[in-house]
Amino acid sequence: MKNKVVVITGASSGIGRALAKEFAAKGARLSLGARRTELLEQLRQELHETEILIVKTDVSSEDDCRNLIDGTVKHFGQIDILINNAGISMRALFEEVDTKVIRQLMDVNFYGTVYCSKFALPHLLKTKGSLVGVISIAGYVGLPGRTGYSASKFAIRGFLDTVRIENLKKGLHVLVAAPGFTASEVRKAALTNDGSQQGETPRDESKMMSSEECARHIVRAIGKRKRELILTFTEGKLTVFLGKFFPALLDKLTYSHMAKEPNSPFK
């Protein structure tokens, strides 16, 4: 990763912030995009020996995504790795949710990935670089109470798998990384049925994989140019396995597991 130019969206917290630190430790040069640039500035101070470009980016804006990629190429001259990490979640029954919430999930999670990937693709083809999407196990199994979230993550997986096939003979590496439940701010900022933020997590964050461990796995998978990364055994690999061979059983297990959350919207 020495001197590689790495673009990371959603870099102000959670997995994105941990990825920035992991790549910095390996000598990469970073272009960091997020809405909260004050947190990116704090990160730049912390990683003062790393060359870092900060670009204020709302990935739901096509112009912002274009600006992030164009600014990176103007500053560094190339892009070796793009990590589409920015994302938001939700927690509400589809029966009760305002459709604007579903639209917002798709705008940020799916279209943010599409926009950044579209503008970065010509540069990644030049370097035979890596295009990465951070999805979730929710991109393999529908999570009740999170229709928009699962839909957006399924969409990202289908989109990136197709981009991989289209560029099969051009040297492009495409990785779809699916963490299980990972300690981050994503659940606190999750949207409720009216679009307001949840404000607190319904799960015990201390029992989850840390963002730092997740980042190490993702960086290692990029180095090995893997096509898929599914993290954690029970919530990750086992879930995907059951989905393939015992889908009806997985439906029941998923319902039971998610219904145990405090203040679950269903029982």
Q: Check: CB of residue 65 under 8 Å from CB of residue 115.
A: yes
For residues 181 and 114, give the distance between their C-alpha atoms in angstroms, rounded to a whole number.
Answer: 24
SS3 content of the chain, % helix, strand, coil (to 5): 50, 15, 35
Q: Which residues are catalytic?
A: 149
H-state helical runs in 62-190: 62-76, 99-105, 112-127, 147-166
238-245 and 247-259 are packed helices; what angle lies between their axes, rounded to 10 degrees?
A: 140
Strands 228-230 and 130-134 turn out to be unpaired
Beta bridge partners of 84: 133
For residues 245 and 233, give the distance between their C-alpha atoms in angstroms, rounded to a whole number.
Answer: 16
